[in-house]
Structure 1
Amino acid sequence: MTIHPTVLVTGASSGIGATYADRFARRGHDLVLVARDHARLQALATRLRQEFGIAVEVLPADLTQREELAAVEARLRDDARIGILINNAGIAQSGGFVDQSADSIERLVTLNTTVLTRLAAAAAPRLVEVGEGAIVNIGSVVGLSPEFGMSVYGATKAFALFLSQGLSLELSPKGVYVQAVLPAATRTEIWERAGIDINTLPEVMDVGELVDAALVGFDRRETVTIPPLHVAARWDTLEASRLALLGDIRQAQAAERYRTIT
């Protein structure tokens, strides 16, 4: 009999997180669901228990609050049953950079980068010790495109991608799989919460289609999964160009073009 690792999902009360919970429940995994909305978590947990006969624990937490974050970190450090972390909790923000308040920027950066990193850091040592497990970080294609005009949000998602790639290089030789998932616009509540009318967006993916595609990438052990990318070679070309750029960087001297005043 196959024993499936328990999956801890953050931002699990709706949208991408709730869909990940549903899909892993269908695969027979027990779950730990983390989000602020206790009532919605309980409703989801009840449905998943009834439909799939799995164990589901609800762990309500506002991850921007230090004590509540610490409780989730402790669970990831100490619970040997948890073998997969879906690092999904995050927020978006509308408006230009000069229109955003310092407090709203701090909350966005805290949840999308600090919390993401601390939860991965809580899980990774134990997973490395046993030589197996997975960390999935939910990023965004916005992290590839400053042209979208969501500078702070996009920067946090660029961080998620870089962190995932770095962790993959460090942890995959030790048996721990790390995946970055980069959605484009997906039909979830994050847009309404950010004050953005989703109906003004030209193309929006259904959340079920997004997560199902991400799980194909998960099963294939892709480092970066971009469900809306139709020409996979585009990403390969970008990565090849990046590596070539690094090969052209020589630290001992400034480039010739910076040594001549024109």
Structure 2
Amino acid sequence: MTDNVTVLITGASTGIGAIYADRFASRGHNLVLVARDAARLEALAKKLQAQYGVEAEIILADLTQAGELDAVAQRLRDDRRIGVLVNNAGMSLSGSFISQTSADINRMVALNLSAALTLAHAVAPRLAAAGKGSIINLSSVVGLAPEFGMTVYGATKAFILFLSQGLSIELGPQGVYVQAVLPAATRTEIWQRSGVDVNAMSGVMDADELVDAALVGYDRGEPVTIPPLYDEHQWTVNEQSRQAMLPGFSQQHPAPRYRNSSE
């Protein structure tokens, strides 16, 4: 999808982000790796440099902190070598909406939603002006399924899906490829950090399989890639049904079922 440009990956120290780093390095891309864990980032950077002969720079940043997020955003605005952004950093929470604290909810929204939005907004104008580049946003199937009971987490991921689809429509004609990747349960540390025993769950995908599948979708130029969905037709039908409603949204008067509240 791109020339041999530098790839900036958030949440790169472990899990999905680290595997994206490995896969892009194996394709010959230099890397900018962003996360909070200095020891893990340094170890990963040294490993990838030795294994693939690429440059791997690290940026220590907590993307829930405005100043540190702004520094990464400024790097995306200024560094013309960076042609791919992988918005991977994210977190989840255990418990229900009413048991979660406001502080934890706000931190999750800041990381899952605001940070991804800020970084995409930082890099998009430069990519559009160049007429090339890619933004990969990690969403989740939970953003399609309120029935899964992860209300705020799912809401942040629904936002990322909508953002990606909107950016795809807006930036695609300007040469910028935007992909939303929707994993289901994936074996990463996000579960341990949110207090969930992933080993007690069934149907959990390994992170390397998830990323390899996502990159197949990337190479094909898919706007939305859902690795765990076997029946691709279901997503096609979902999109066709949604788009079929669009003409019906432009109405001068309410639908007949809303015109008489006594009925």
Q: TM-score scaled to structure 2, two decimals?
A: 0.98
Gap regions ≥5 residues in structure 2: none
Residues in 2 aligned to 1:25 and 1:154: alpha-carbon distance in whole angstroms: 31
SS state at 1:123 partner: helix
SS state at 1:98 partner: coil
% identical aligned pairs:
62
Aligned ranges for residues 65-144 of structure 1 at < 5 Å? 65-144=65-144
1:7 equivalent to 2:7? Answer: yes
Residues in 1 aligned to 2:243 and 2:146: alpha-carbon distance in whole angstroms: 21
Change in 2 beyond 3 A, CA 1:63/1:204: same
Q: Deviations over 1:46-69 (max 9, x none)?
A: 000000000000111001111111
- For 1:210, the equivalent position in structure 2 comes to 210
SS state at 2:120 partner: helix
Q: CA deviation at 1:3?
A: 5.7
Q: Letter of the aligned partner of 1:40 in structure 2?
A: R
Residues in 1 aligned to 2:84 and 2:146: alpha-carbon distance in whole angstroms: 31
Residues in 2 aligned to 1:94 and 1:241: alpha-carbon distance in whole angstroms: 33
1:56 equivalent to 2:56? Answer: yes
Aligned ranges for residues 157-196 of structure 1 at < 5 Å? 157-196=157-196
- For 1:236, the equivalent position in structure 2 comes to 236
| Aligned residues: CA RMSD | 1.0
Residues in 2 aligned to 1:161 and 1:205: alpha-carbon distance in whole angstroms: 20
Q: Deviations over 1:113-167 (max 9, x none)?
A: 1111000000001101110000000000000000000000000000000000000
Q: CA deviation at 1:94?
A: 1.3
- For 2:200, the equivalent position in structure 1 comes to 200
Residues in 2 aligned to 1:102 and 1:27: alpha-carbon distance in whole angstroms: 42
Which deviates more, 204-213 or 245-254? Answer: 245-254
Q: CA deviation at 1:247?
A: 2.3
SS state at 2:98 partner: helix
Gap regions ≥5 residues in structure 1: none
Residues in 2 aligned to 1:35 and 1:253: alpha-carbon distance in whole angstroms: 51
Which deviates more, 192-201 or 227-236? Answer: 192-201
Q: TM-score scaled to structure 1, two decimals?
A: 0.98
Q: CA deviation at 1:248?
A: 2.3
- For 1:146, the equivalent position in structure 2 comes to 146
Q: CA deviation at 1:244?
A: 1.1
Give 4+ residue runs of structure 1 displaced > 3 Å after superposition.
Answer: none
- Aligned residue pairs: how many? 261
- For 1:24, the equivalent position in structure 2 comes to 24
SS state at 1:99 partner: coil
Change in 2 beyond 3 A, CA 1:33/1:144: same
